[in-house]
Amino acid sequence: MSEKKKIYKPKPISGFPEWLPEYRAVELQWLDKIRAVFESYGYCSIETPAVEELEVIAAKGEDVDKEIYVLERLQAEEGSKKDARLALHFDQTVPLARYVAQHFADLTFPFKRYQMQKVWRGERPQMGRMREFLQCDIDVINVDNLPIHFDAEVASICYEALASLDIGRVQLRVSNRKILLGLLEALNIEDTIKVTSFIDKLEKIGREEVERVLKEDVGLEEDQISQILELVTCKDLSSINAKNDTMKEGIEELSFVMKQLETLPADAAISDLTIVRGLDYYTGTVYETQLLDVPEFTGSVCSGGRYDDLAGSYINQHLPGVGISIGFSRLFDVLRQNGKIEAGPSSPAKVLVVLPAEDQREAMNEVAQTLRKNGINTETAHGGKLKKQIAYAEKKGIPYVWFPADGQVKDMASGEQTDADPQNWKP
């Protein structure tokens, strides 16, 4: 051990966060809560590999292609070139589509699944942007036709999941793209992607700037612009005058969804026609979610919507779906950085059984095993001075210390020490 060693001091890798045990404990607790809500609605878990064939994953959207991580073997074996190129998935929607297509015959529809996995994007890291992050997704997929009430169900589930984390007021904003797209159709406006992408920025860049770009960049008439802006800022769905069937359908769908969401607490869900989601992928209901009590969290913590055809590139089946995704890592990281998350204990144990003297080892182990059998997480001390053992419990946030020979337990918070029987003791 005395020889001079060459030390490579490791640095954090930008964009790949990791937590100390006391924050990981909170993260695990949150993930357990989210999973419990997903399962309470009967959504099943699936887990797909970290990789997909590059052919499956690439060219889903050109913007994302440049963020894709491809795997290369450090030392390629001869002949290994024959293998398909593999890439880390950058979301959970492409893997879901591939999964449903591949296992179509073995799945029961409507297929309701949740998925909580890491995804990877090779973008430049910045505050809240990560290269590796965890998403918590739920989606429902059906064959040919998916009833609209699922659009309300996934919204409720996401609301409940976020509310279970105790991070202040959560507000879902819900819209239906058919309403705006119907109006654009009625106004003979063809460049719908450009228009919706500017409406998407309304809150960020302001009404005046949107008016300017719709006029100058898209070339719309003033009357068209004012009709569009009147529609998207309208607060009362029933006051909207449907100009065609698309608009009418959108209004009906959104009204149904909002009606279903009335069981949520007041202000938990509002309709907001400025929500369009940039993506052309969505065809009806769309969602975003704000944390009303966390102004530091900009943008949407949980978004999604309804799509017409999940897996058309992989299977000759019409598979409409609706889904929402919680951007878990960003949520956790922003709240943590803003001091909104209290660190948990760095041990899951409720009790440390101490070892005041070596001849109490057997007694210590017996007490610990009894407590564990009763469902109480328990550490045993590793020896050394008693004072140090108790300091260890304090440092790790273990709330009780047990003295095996005396049959006594000490509450670390109050300092109170009482007689206790491991057979029937509860923390």
**Site residues (CB under 8 A) for a copy of itself, limited to 16-75:** 16-21, 24-25, 27-28, 39-56, 58, 65-75
Cis previous bond, 110, omega within 30: yes
| CA dihedral sign of residues 156, 161, 165, 171 | negative
Question: Is 357 an interacting residue with respect to a copy of itself (CB under 8 A)?
Answer: no
397 close to 345: Cβ distance less than 8 angstroms: yes
Element (H, E) at 302: strand 302-307
CB of 59 to a copy of itself, least distance (A): 10
Q: How far is the CB of 58 from a copy of itself (least distance, A)?
A: 7
- Smallest distance from the beta carbon of 292 to a copy of itself, in angstroms? 23
Contact 69, 87 (CB under 8 A): yes
Two tokens, residue 96: 């879901």
**Which residue of 238, 239, 241, 316 would you call a contact of a copy of itself, by CB under 8 A?**
316
The 83-102 contact track toward a copy of itself, x by CB under 8 A, reads: xx-xxx---------xx-xx
Q: Please report, as residue ranges, which positions from 173 to 192 form the binding site for a copy of itself (by CB under 8 A).
A: none
Site for a copy of itself in 254-283 (CB under 8 A): 260, 263
Specify burial of residue 252 (Cβ count, 10 A radius: 0-12, 13-18, 19+): middle
Amino acid letter, residue 313: S
244 counts as binding a copy of itself under rule CB under 8 A: no
Give, as ranges, the residues between 147 and 166 that touch a copy of itself (CB under 8 A): 147, 149-150, 153
Comparison of 146 and 214: residue with beta carbon closer to a copy of itself: 146
Which of these segments, 8-16, 188-196, 277-285, 402-410, binds a copy of itself (CB under 8 A)? 8-16
Within 10 angstroms of residue 168's Cβ, the number of other Cβ atoms is: 14
Q: 3-class DSSP state for residue 117?
A: strand
Longest dimension (CA), the chain: 90
Q: Smallest gap, in angstroms, from Cβ of residue 198 to a copy of itself?
A: 27
Residues 113-132 that bind a copy of itself (CB under 8 A): 113, 118, 120, 122, 124, 132
List the one residue from 221, 395, 411, 423 that touches a copy of itself (CB under 8 A). 395
* Length of the chain, in residues: 427
Pairing verdict, β 282-291 and 86-88: unpaired
Angle at the Cα of 87 from the Cα atoms of 81 and 88, rounded to 5 degrees: 145
Using CA atoms, how far apart are residues 153 and 353, in angstroms rounded to an integer? 47
Shortest gap between Cβ of 381 and a copy of itself (angstroms)?
10
Q: Which of 169, 194, 215, 372 touches a copy of itself by CB under 8 A?
A: 372
Q: What is the CA radius of gyration of the chain?
A: 27
Alpha helices, H only, 147-216: 149-163, 177-186, 192-200, 202-205, 207-216
Q: How far is the CB of 300 from a copy of itself (least distance, A)?
A: 25
- In the complex, the smallest distance separating the C-beta of residue 24 from a copy of itself, rounded to whole angstroms, is 5
Using DSSP's 3-state secondary structure scheme, residue 378 falls into: strand
Q: Which of these segments, 206-214, 388-396, 403-411, 415-423, binds a copy of itself (CB under 8 A)?
A: 388-396
The residue among 202 and 254 lying less far from a copy of itself, judged by its C-beta, is 254
Between CA 77 and CA 339 the distance in angstroms is: 49
Q: Which stretch binds a copy of itself (CB under 8 A): 244-252, 265-273, 282-290, 364-372?
A: 364-372
Residue 319 CB, nearest distance to a copy of itself (Å)? 11
User: Structure tokens of 396?
Assistant: 């790790």
Q: Closest CB to a copy of itself among 44 and 193?
A: 44
| Residues 6 or more apart whose Cβ sits within 8 Å of residue 91 | 119, 135, 325
Whole-angstrom distance, CA of residue 196 vs CA of residue 183: 12
Which residue number, 299 or 397, has a Cβ lying nearer to a copy of itself? 397
Q: Choose, by CB under 8 A, the member of 141, 251, 254, 352 that binds a copy of itself.
A: 352
- Based on CB atoms, which residue is closest to a copy of itself, 88 or 225? 88
Q: Which is nearer to a copy of itself, 73 or 387 (CB)?
A: 73
